[in-house]
Amino acid sequence: MPRPDRLFRLLDTLRRLPAPVTATRLAEATEVSPRTIYRDIEALRAGGARIEGEAGFGYTLAEDPALPPQNLTRLEMEALTLGIAELRHLGDPELARAGEMALAKIAATLPEARAHQAAHAILSSYRFTRRAPAPVDLAVIRQACWEERALRLDYIDREGAPSSRVIWPLSLVYLDNEQMLLAHCCLRGGYRQFIVARMVAVAALDESFRPRRVPMLREFTAQIRARYKIETMCREPGQG
């Protein structure tokens, strides 16, 4: 691994792991030797990073030169901590890791007193049952949404019938007990909602539908809201 990449990875690890972090733990997380960690710590210090601690006691990233300072209130920090904790329950490990890394980067830019408060937040989130991991790679779906590229989807519908179709992915939605993909189905020529748990396989295609994703998503969500409003009115007593 090139040295700049290794140093960046070490900074990320120092942000993410509870301090103080021993050289052995840093070496395990970054897949290098403890001796390399000692050299890289000194290199980061020479570059302006304020890293407290020493060999045998562990290291703490007290000031991070790679990130601008942040001035969040204690309640704002608690809100971020709680929101990112919720990601652990969505059955998407990659998204949960990304949230934890983002929180670590934010915490590393806070003043010392606020960083201490962030490390000991009073708000937390727990679930007695965890959602099962998705049967397909959600990273492929996210990338296709970002790049506005079509996907080939193998799917089992609610009656148990399999199908294979090309879709234009618009948005991943996390509901109470399941994940849903909002998409335009090229096979049916209209908007559809696909339950992630019923997906068998997804594959990215070269076909692009840029720049239509945002206006299509607005149109689809407007249809969903209108349909929900009508259904709600029909269920209300006294409505004729």
Here the CATH number for the domain that contains residue 11 is 1.10.10.10
201-237 pLDDT per residue, tens: 999 999 999 999 999 999 999 998 888 776 666 666 5
Residue 68 lies in a domain: no
Closest CA to 131 of 87, 100, 66: 87
**The tokens of 213 are what?**
């994703």
Give the span between the Cα atoms of 168 and 144, in whole angstroms. Answer: 8
Domain tally, the chain: 3
Q: Is the pLDDT of residue 48 over 60?
A: yes
Show Cβ contacts of residue 11 under 8 Å, excluding neighbours closer than 6 positions: 44, 49, 61, 64, 66
Task: Check whether residue 209 and residue 148 sit in a common domain.
Answer: yes
Task: Check whether residue 149 and residue 218 sit in a common domain.
Answer: yes
Q: What is the pLDDT of residue 133?
A: 85
90 pLDDT band, cuts 50/70/90, is: confident
- Please spell the DSSP secondary structure of 180-199, one letter per residue: EEEEEETTTTEEEEEEGGGE
Task: Check whether residue 167 and residue 106 sit in a common domain.
Answer: no
Task: Check whether residue 228 and residue 154 sit in a common domain.
Answer: yes
Residue 240 lies in a domain: no
117-172 pLDDT per residue, tens: 888 889 888 888 778 888 999 999 999 999 999 999 999 998 999 999 999 999 99
Q: Is the pLDDT of residue 44 over 70?
A: yes
Give the span between the Cα atoms of 11 and 62, in whole angstroms. Answer: 11
Choose one of 20, 36, 63: the last residue of a domain. Answer: 63
Closest CA to 197 of 171, 225, 172: 172
> Mean pLDDT in the chain?
86
Task: Check whether residue 192 and residue 213 sit in a common domain.
Answer: yes
Task: Check whether residue 56 and residue 80 sit in a common domain.
Answer: no
In three-state secondary structure terms, 200 is: strand
Task: Check whether residue 229 and residue 159 sit in a common domain.
Answer: yes
Task: Check whether residue 37 and residue 87 sit in a common domain.
Answer: no
Q: What is the pLDDT of residue 239?
A: 45
What percent of the chain is predicted at pLDDT more than 70? Answer: 91
Query: The domain spanning residue 183 has which CATH number?
Result: 2.30.30
Task: Check whether residue 179 and residue 158 sit in a common domain.
Answer: yes
Task: Check whether residue 152 and residue 226 sit in a common domain.
Answer: yes
Give the span between the Cα atoms of 99 and 86, in whole angstroms. Answer: 10
Q: Domain range for residue 176?
A: 142-235
Give the span between the Cα atoms of 78 and 234, in whole angstroms. Answer: 40
Residue 118 lies in a domain: yes
Choose one of 82, 105, 133: the last residue of a domain. Answer: 133
Task: Check whether residue 153 and residue 217 sit in a common domain.
Answer: yes
Q: 114 or 32: which carries more pLDDT confidence? A: 32
Per DSSP, the chain holds a count of helices (H) and strands (E) of 8, 7
Closest CA to 147 of 166, 170, 118: 170
Task: Check whether residue 99 and residue 125 sit in a common domain.
Answer: yes
